[in-house]
A and B are shown apart, each in its own frame.
Chain A
Amino acid sequence: MTTSTAVRQRTPAGYDDLPRLMGLMTGDEKHGPAATSTLDALWVLYDRVLRVTPGTAEAPDRDRFLLSKGHGPMAYYAVLAAKGFLPADWLPGFGAYDSPLGHHPDRTLLPGVEIGSGSLGHGLPLAVGTALGLRARGLSEPRVWVLVGDAELDEGSNHEALAYAGATGLDSLHTLVIDNASASHALPGGIAARFEAAGWSTATVDGRDHEALYAAFTAPHPGRARAVVARVEPAYA
């Protein structure tokens, strides 16, 4: 593994560093935010919302972030590196045999990564179980966040989780839907309508607008699970 020579990045980086960090994986130094649908929502979460740091990545009362949409995790890795969870010098190894950074993340190889993902439709059910487990342990402070894609919501397992969490008012659970209009057969009435029908609190915002994302992420939703739909550029426009 490249960790033997790794030097941990000591100073957390900022939003402006993300294109450079992503460039370490893709080789494209000009990697702009628009190229990655999840980048801004991830940044606002890690920068201003999630109560977790590299020092508390194993703490029982940390907030949990579960990346369900494990495809194209470069933005995720870049944000984790910027926040000091991963050394930046792991990034150039992306996808290599001796690198812990795969094209889909593996929780057992990466500090701060809560689930291994890649197969779609697993994160939301796992997040429901995590929220239930934290409640059963009497940990009422931690919030659970899960990021899914709009097309990923087609998976039946997500509908099972969505219906259950809505009906039971699992208010520590937060689903962030990155909507780049990639579903072949979109939900009638839009994504938020599906969550609302199941009893969730919802908001739909511009997925590039950091203030709008922050407001949606932090709005109170007593007694209801929360879904934030972040709209970004269509995937195949």
Chain B
Amino acid sequence: MDTMRERFASVTSRLLDEDPRLAVVLAEIGTDGFAEAARRHPDRVINVGIREQLLVGVGGGLALAGMRPVLHTFASFLVERPFEQVKLDLGHQDAGAVLVSAYGSYDWPAGGYTHMAPGDIALLDTLDGWTVHVPGHPDEAATLLRHAVAAGDDKVYVRLSQQANAAGRPVDGAGFLTVREGRAGVVVAVGPLLDDVLAATEGLDVTVLYATTVRPFDTAALRAAVGPGPADVVLVEPYLAGTSTAYANDALADVPHRVLGLGTARGELRRYGTVPEHLRAHGLDPASLRERIAAFTGPRDGARAAA
């Protein structure tokens, strides 16, 4: 199976043929995948060199000139390094773009912390009006990229991952999917962590919601899954633990509830190695997840135990 990054190049190259408004801006990273598209559309596949502030500034300028820009590099260099460009050259200008990242939180552990951006979604959460897609499978990445490009002049972030679930799901670019139903709690699994969450909750009496579009947060789906409460909600996210906790709390403001936010740790690991090793270190492997989810949603003293 191809990776999400490979799918990004093939799908976006096709979209460049179809949509004369579309432009792709790269900063050296990812240029191989767009070599053929660049030959066909030399004015709409732009490589600015290793210049990430310019990458985002150029995206803003393209949008102001009436284009739909897609900007791509690793998450560290796309969201973190040029963050003020994201804030001002897109948001403040009222200009839209599709930001497509790779590597995320732990996709290239051997590359070390310089190539990890576990805080990218939390950073975007400080800005207004961003749609955030976190696909869990290359087929979903293709679908969500098409949604992102077609979303008028919206600001959209698509977070691609090396980690993927075994099968794609019918994502719609808007809401959460209900994958499993249960009564003892609700687990929201984000993107590529779904398979591990399903393995971890096998035999547990919990609802599992699958989130690939995490902003806007699907308040209605969480409320429906929780019912009248009281509710135990676990968020399992492939980025900083607790990134979406405030959104879940706001969604359930009038429902008695507790929220456990699982994700990557804030502390820097300073370890290389492999993706499975990093998932274990963050407690995101199936065994760690099962232990933490079961402990949070399982029987305990009080009303639930009595019921």
Contacts and interface: CB of A to CB of B under 8 A. Distances in A.
A67 to B, nearest CB: 13
A9 B88 CA distance: 32
A60 B60 CA distance: 16
A172 B192 CA distance: 44
Interface string B68-94: 010000000000000011001100111
Interface of A is mostly: helix
B298 interface: no
B46 interface: yes
Contact of B23 (A119, A122, A133, A163): A133
B182 interface: no
Given A160-B51, A161-B54, A133 B62 contact: yes
Contacts of A160: 48, 51, 53-54
A57 interface: no
Interface centre among B49, B60, B61, B63 (most CB of A within 10 A): B61
A76 to B, nearest CB: 17
8 contacts: A115-B64, A119-B84, A125-B85, A129-B62, A129-B63, A132-B23, A132-B46, A137-B67
Contacts of A52: none
Contacts of B23: 132-133, 136
Interface of B: 23, 25, 43-44, 46, 48-49, 51, 53-54, 56-67, 69, 84-85, 88-89, 92-94
Contacts of A64: 64
A129 B94 contact: no
A163 B27 CA distance: 14
A116 B57 contact: no
Interface centre among B54, B60, B69, B93 (most CB of A within 10 A): B54
Interface centre among A121, A127, A133 (most CB of B within 10 A): A133
A211 B25 CA distance: 39
A8 interface: no
B54 A116 contact: no
Interface of A: 60, 64, 106-108, 114-116, 119, 121-122, 124-137, 156-157, 160-161, 163-164
Contacts of A130: 61-62, 64-65
Contact of B59 (A116, A129, A131, A134): A129
Given A115-B93, A130-B65, A133-B61, A164 B49 contact: yes
Contacts of B85: 122, 125, 157
B61 A126 contact: yes
Contacts of A164: 48-49, 51, 54
Nearest to A124: B57
Interface centre among B25, B43, B58, B92 (most CB of A within 10 A): B58
A116 B93 contact: yes
Interface centre among A107, A135, A157 (most CB of B within 10 A): A157
Interface centre among A121, A127, A129, A131 (most CB of B within 10 A): A129
A99 B94 CA distance: 19
A122 B89 contact: yes
B61 A129 contact: yes
Nearest to A129: B61
Contacts of A114: 64
A168 B259 CA distance: 52
A107 B25 CA distance: 24
A122 B92 CA distance: 11
Nearest to B56: A125
A106 B94 CA distance: 10
B43 A136 contact: yes
A167 B167 CA distance: 45
Contact of A125 (B57, B67, B69, B94): B57
Given A116-B92, A133-B23, A136-B43, A128 B67 contact: no
Contacts of B84: 119
A137 B66 contact: yes
Nearest to A136: B43
A91 to B, nearest CB: 23
B94 A157 contact: no
Contact of B94 (A108, A131, A133): A108
A161 B67 contact: no
Contact of B53 (A125, A132, A133, A137): A125
A136 B59 contact: no
8 nearest interchain CB pairs? A129-B61, A125-B57, A133-B65, A129-B58, A160-B51, A160-B54, A130-B61, A157-B53
Nearest to A127: B61
A27 B89 CA distance: 33
A169 to B, nearest CB: 13
A132 B42 CA distance: 11
A128 to B, nearest CB: 6
